[in-house]
Amino acid sequence: MNNGTDNQAGKARIGFIGLGFMGRGMATNLARAGHPMMVKGNRDRAPVEALMAQGAVEAQSPREMAESCDIIHLCLSNSDQVEAVIRGEDGILAGARAGLIVIDTTTADPVSTAALAGEMAAAGVTLVDAPLGRTPKEAEAGTLDAMVGCDAETFAKVRPIIEVWAGNITHVGETGAGHRMKLVMNFISMGYAALYAEALTMGVKSGLSPQAIHEVIGGSRLANGFYDTFMRAAVSRDREVHKFTITNAAKDTRYAASMAMAAGMANPMGSAIRDAFAQMEAAGGGGGYVPWLADHVAALNGLDLEGAVAQSKA
């Protein structure tokens, strides 16, 4: 370990676990920046093979990665996966060396983050939470948003690394603050999704075309970046533009509800938003993307949204 530099290249040796929609773009940018890379994927071999073609080495376990790397990125689906990667028999803590930094970009449960940070600190490892904003398109471009939780000294160390894959970086506080901020952000965005889905059904059931609704709202001050990709998927039927699954959305709304309960606040809007995603997930739609909630809500109300779009084009 050398706390931020890697022998001849003068670059930190980076480990990356979780090469999904977001992680593959982030890891690719780190490799392009000249960082020696060690990667570990899951079922999809394509991003692993692509990164190995760029010079990355495949780790057989998180433990092996911890023994070799200066900084490890995690980009996983939930806190259960993060805990397994860190605490497992062949996990990061099993191979931890003093000075190792772990940057967790997962949207995670802040209670879990706090517990893990304490355990890792006892082993000389620093946990940084840096959850993400924006989409896989920005991950590929290296222009994601990052909300970072750690002490000021650590932030100064990791910022140059994060700048490789993020364009908008905000230090929001100590470890755990990033994950709390991300849940506030996703509470708002998933609230948008639930509202837009119901608004489309309300309008179409009342005799408006989906395209007219989109044109009017999209041209008003109610529009925003989230609205744009949601409606491009729901109305323009570009089904790949907003790649964030219903299962992940349902998980995030559960974490947000837990955070609200821990804060001792009334959270009636959160309950309604959580129920919207829980219902679609329970109906077998967890693998769909967030904008597909519009089709689900429409179907519950006897409406074929895709058909309504096609009919309005005719």
Question: Any idea which residues carry the catalytic annotation?
Answer: 182
Contacts of 78 (CB under 8 A, 6+ apart): 106, 107, 108, 109, 248, 251
Q: For residues 103 and 229, what is the distance between their CA atoms, to the nearest angstrom?
A: 28
**DSSP per residue, 12-78:** --EEEE--STTHHHHHHHHHHTT--EEEE--S--HHHHHHHHTT-EE-SSHHHHHHH-SEEEE--SS
Kindly give the pairing relationship between strand 144-149 and strand 132-133: antiparallel
Q: Under a CB-based contact definition with an 8 Å cutoff, are residues 293 and 197 in contact?
A: yes
Crossing angle (nearest 10°) for helices 177-205 and 305-313: 60
CA atoms of 279 and 184, how far apart (whole Å): 21
Is-contact 233 292, C-beta < 8 A?
Answer: yes
Report the C-alpha gap between 153 and 136 in whole angstroms. Answer: 30
Distance (Å, whole) CA 236 – CA 197: 14
In degrees, to the nearest 5, what angle opens at C-alpha 217 toward C-alphas 212 and 218? 95
Contact 197, 233 (CB under 8 A): no
Continuous segment of H or E residues that includes residue 101: strand 101-104
For residue 60, how many other CB atoms are within 10 A of its CB? 9
Beta bridge partners of 91: none
> How many Cα neighbours within 13 Å face the side chain of 268?
0
